[in-house]
Amino acid sequence: MKLIIRVLFIFISTNIFAQQNKVCITVDDLPTVPYSFRDKEHQLEITQKLIDVFTKNNIPAIGYVNEGKLYPNGKLDQSKVELLKLWLENGLELGNHTFSHLNYHKVTFEEFTEDISKGEKIIKELAKSHNTEVRYFRHPYLRSGLDNDHTDSLKKFLAKNNYIEAPVTIDNEDYLFAKAYSRAYKKKDTELMNRIGKNYIDYMEEKLIFYEKMSNNLYGRNIAQTLLVHASLLNAHFMDELVEMFHQHNYEFVSQEAVLTDPAYQEKVTKFGDWGISWLDRWALSKGKKGDFFKGDPATPEFILEINK
């Protein structure tokens, strides 16, 4: 009997432990962030590779679209629409990231909200034909309002238009690594590509640990995290390793809908600034945290900045 109880205890406790950490992977700037690779083959490679890793690992990732990218030279490019269809066909969700990736802090409320409405035309149709909906909105540059009123008026607009805001907790500079990677790729420098990739995964692991720690210090637990990455060649080539890193840290992958059920996401932000920081930073600032509380944020390695010069 004792043994059964003991086995049962181990079974329950390991299961609880295994499910302890949750993360939602959100991919911004769809269909792709091409840097200098604007040809159809690279666009498809980026999309297909990301989707392959997500489906293989049962990851309910979400992609945030800038519909403006579907109109290179002002004309609708059907091949780019096909890339978005691939996401939906594989059961992945799409969200709105505005038409032209506007910064809410730099344009008028009218300009910004018009750009949101303009940015839903095609994805709404696509979602409908795949029996799903466009439900979520991600702020470009994570700029969500300069003060309380500015933030609130956007919140009201989004709610009225059936959008749910999608905060980010694991903010990072993946785009700097991606830019450097595309340069190395262009030069066919595989050694440098691998070095950038390896450093990228290490950096993302440090970021994960940093935000886990911040969450523990703020809430006494690791909240369901939201990772922001971009639809770049770097992420296409290294998503497998990124996913493996999260597995090693006992993460399970959850949907946008599921991650937002964590009560932390209901936390009110009361401190504002012209910043695009993690919502964990915003909640901490709103709770009066200062200085040392934010210490230790991992920096992007110098050699990445060098390559991008």
Query: In angstroms, what is the minimal distance from the CB of 103 to Zn ion?
Result: 10
Residues 22 and 16: their CA atoms lie apart, in Å, by: 12
Our measurement of the distance from residue 152's CA atom to the centroid of its chain's CA atoms, rounded to an integer in Å, reads 23
Pick between residue 182 and residue 215 the one whose CB is nearest to Zn ion.
182
Mask: binding to Zn ion, 120-159, rule CB under 5 A, as x and -? --------------------x-------------------
Query: In angstroms, what is the minimal distance from the CB of 238 to Zn ion?
Result: 19
Query: In angstroms, what is the minimal distance from the CB of 66 to Zn ion?
Result: 7
29 contributes a contact to Zn ion by CB under 5 A: yes
Pick between residue 140 and residue 145 the one whose CB is nearest to Zn ion.
140
Among 26, 28, 94, 169, binds Zn ion (CB under 5 A): 28
Residue 252 DSSP SS3:
strand
Pick between residue 134 and residue 218 the one whose CB is nearest to Zn ion.
134
Query: In angstroms, what is the minimal distance from the CB of 104 to Zn ion?
Result: 12
Query: In angstroms, what is the minimal distance from the CB of 276 to Zn ion?
Result: 10
Residues 105 and 32: their CA atoms lie apart, in Å, by: 24
Residues 31 and 223: their CA atoms lie apart, in Å, by: 29
Pick between residue 95 and residue 222 the one whose CB is nearest to Zn ion.
95
Q: Which of 250, 253, 238 is nearest to 202 (CA)?
A: 238
Residues 294, 284 contacting (CB under 8 angstroms): yes
Q: How many residues bind Zn ion (CB under 5 A)?
A: 3
Residues 57, 20 contacting (CB under 8 angstroms): no
Residues 276 and 288: their CA atoms lie apart, in Å, by: 18
67 contributes a contact to Zn ion by CB under 5 A: no
Query: In angstroms, what is the minimal distance from the CB of 275 to Zn ion?
Result: 15
Mask: binding to Zn ion, 181-220, rule CB under 5 A, as x and -? ----------------------------------------
Strand intervals (E) in the chain:
21-30, 62-65, 93-96, 136-137, 164-165, 225-230, 251-253
What single-letter DSSP state applies at residue 84?
A: H
Which residues contribute to the site for Zn ion (CB under 5 A)?
Answer: 28-29, 140
